[in-house]
Amino acid sequence: MRTLDAPTLAALGQPAVPLVQLILLDFPSLPVALNTSSWDLVFGGVTYKGAFGLGEISPVEDAPGDIKGLTARLSGVASSSVALALDGSDEWQGAPVTLRTAILDANFAVVDAPLEWTGRGDTMSLSEDGETAVVDATIESSAVDLLRGAEMTYSDGDQRSLYPSDRAFEYVVSQADQPVVWPSKEYFYK
C-alpha cells in the first residue's frame, strides 16, 4: 500500500483530474523522454517532451500467467529524421523503457507519477512513403525475466565457481540414485 502526500491528494480531489502518460526510452547515448500531452512536463529532473498526436502506445494487457509486451508507433516522422531512427536501432535492443501515469495539478504540473510498466526495447521497424515515415518499436516486458530459468544449477562446478573451497556438492553425482538402507528398529534395541 502506498501513502499519498498532500499535493497528490489535492490533485486527486479536483473535479477533473488530468492524467498524462510519461514514457522514458533510456538509450545509452541519449535518453528520449516523451509524454502524451502537447506541452513539456518535468518529473524527477527529466523533461518529458510533449508528443500529442505524434504516436501511440498499445495498452498494457498483462495478466497473471500472460505477459505481453508493448508496441510504440511514432508516425509523421520527417524523412530527414529517418537516419536517426536507423542509427539508433542497434541501441534500441535492450534499452530500458519505463511507462508512468502522471497526475497533474490545476496548473498542469506533475505532482506524482507512479510507475506503471517497465520493459526493454526489442525490435524496431520503419516504413516510409517518401515524405513521412512511421517507426514501430516493440518493447518486451521486464516480467519476462521471471520466466527465464536460473543460469546456475546445484552442481559441484557451479558451487566452486562461487565458493572455491566449498566441497558441498562434490559427491552429488556419485551418490545420485544410490539406495539408502536403514537398519530396522530392532537393530537399535541391542
Distances 16 to 8, 10, 36, 103, 108 between C-alpha atoms, Å: 14, 12, 17, 11, 12
* Listed residue (70, 60, 62, 54) closest to 137, CA to CA: 70
Q: What is the arithmetic mean of pLDDT over 3-20? A: 86
Give the global pTM.
Answer: 0.67
The CA R_g of the chain, rounded to the nearest whole Å, is 26
Q: What is the arithmetic mean of pLDDT over 9-34? A: 86
Task: Give the integer Cα–Cα distance in Å for 157 and 168.
Answer: 11
Task: Give the integer Cα–Cα distance in Å for 180 and 129.
Answer: 74
Across the chain, mean pLDDT equals: 83
What would the pLDDT profile of 121-146 be if each residue is shown by its tens digit? 888 887 777 777 788 888 898 888 77
pLDDT at residue 86, as a whole number? 64
Q: What is the arithmetic mean of pLDDT over 165-187? A: 88
pLDDT at residue 78, as a whole number? 62
Residues ≥6 apart with Cβ < 8 Å to 133: 77, 78, 79, 81, 82, 85, 126, 127
Distances 161 to 88, 148, 151, 173 between C-alpha atoms, Å: 37, 21, 13, 17
Q: Give one word for 175, left, alpha or beta, with left for phi > 0 and alpha for psi -120 to 50.
A: alpha
Give residue 57's pLDDT band: very low, low, confident or very high (50, 70, 90).
confident
Per-residue DSSP letter, 121: E
pLDDT reading at 42 higher than 60: yes
Lowest mean pLDDT among 9-18, 20-29, 60-69, 121-130: 60-69
Lowest mean pLDDT among 72-76, 81-85, 155-159: 81-85
